[in-house]
Amino acid sequence: MKEFRSDTHRQLPSFLGQGAWSVMGILNVTPDSFHDQGRYGQFYAAVERARQMAAEGAAIIDVGGESTRPGSGPVTLEDELGRVIPVIEAVIPEIDVPVSIDTSKAEVARAGLAAGARIINDVTALRGDAEMASVAAEAGCPVCLMHMLGEPRTMQLEPHYEDVVNDIKKFFGERIDYAVSQGIQRQSLVLDPGIGFGKTIEHNLEIIRRLGEFLELGLPLMIGASRKRFIGMVTGEEDTEDRLPGTLAATVMAFVNGAGVFRVHDVAENVQALKVAAAIDKDTNG
């Protein structure tokens, strides 16, 4: 029988305090998000959604103004700033949980932090903008480093790995060393293996199955599997609206296998699933 990992192996970022898990609520203020499809692109809808997610138990609200769905292209600096900064400025006084800025542009990160965001979530793991590391180091803020093979426009064109988990671990080792060399504190890093970012269905399932191997790096793990295509490929559900049950299964299995932070669209449902999984996990481990 598989041995469950105890909470002593699973880590949370230090700024979130004690606990076995936390949920990061996704707030896409874009017109072309793969799931939200622009429903929170309007200012007032975005602010209200942030309030709702905080009330539902989100420990972080992740605000992003550039879609990274497969096949998407970049947006201009001006457009991204215009989407996210007003929302961050409005959300900060309304909620009592930290806001993260989901961007690969250093200027957007700098402006987001100035507006009150406390975390940088960079899907390029500090590779997309040469200035990003210095922005994070100067701010002394936590940074989420995500693995992506290629770029959103091309990442799903026949992705290949020798061993997907080992290859990503090597990537993380390099990015951790780089971040630290640039003045970012190692303990402020969070690792995201990038479900769906240059991976086949088999790669995604293997990553979740073998999450425990990433724990050897000694840093918290974040998983963003919410409503993604691999869930539809497993279940046959083509519409993202029908992938919530599969998302909850992925969340629970990722928790069991060592993840501590879960980036999701549906906060209330994932919080409930994690509460039950954590209670069972605690009982299992005595």
Query: Taking the mean position of all CA atoms in its chain, how far away is CA 85?
Result: 19
Token code pair at residue 164: 């997907």
Pairwise pLDDT comparison (172 vs 15), residue with the higher score: 172
Pick from 234, 274, 239, 269: nearest CA to 253: 274
Would 12 be classed as within a structural domain? no
pTM metric for this prediction:
0.90
Please tell me the predicted confidence (pLDDT) of residue 83.
93
Specify whether 228 is catalytic. yes
Return the CATH number at 165: 3.20.20.20
- Which range marks the domain in which residue 230 is found? 20-284
When pLDDT is cut at 50, 70 and 90, the band that residue 3 belongs to is very low
Token code pair at residue 285: 């481990």
Contact (CB, 8 A) for 213 and 202: no
| pLDDT exceeds 80 at position 150 | no
Q: What is the percentage of the chain residues whose pLDDT exceeds 70?
A: 88
The catalytically annotated residue of 83, 227, 229, 263 is 263
Q: How many CA atoms lie within 13 A of 13 on its CB side?
A: 27
Please tell me the predicted confidence (pLDDT) of residue 224.
96
| pLDDT exceeds 70 at position 63 | yes
| Residue-wise pLDDT tens digits, 117-133 | 999 999 999 999 999 99
| Residue-wise pLDDT tens digits, 233-273 | 999 999 999 999 999 999 999 999 999 999 999 999 999 99
Would 50 be classed as within a structural domain? yes
For residue 272, CA distances in Å to 23, 177, 240, 248, 259 come to 11, 36, 20, 9, 16
The catalytically annotated residue of 83, 210, 228, 229 is 228
Would 158 be classed as within a structural domain? yes
- Average pLDDT of the chain to the nearest whole number: 89
Please tell me the predicted confidence (pLDDT) of residue 137.
98
131-159 core/surface letters (b: 16 or more CB in 10 A; e: else) = ebbbbbbebebbbbbbbbbebbeebbeee
Residue type, 128: G
Cβ-based neighbour number of residue 167 at 10 Å:
15
Number of domains into which the chain is organized: 1
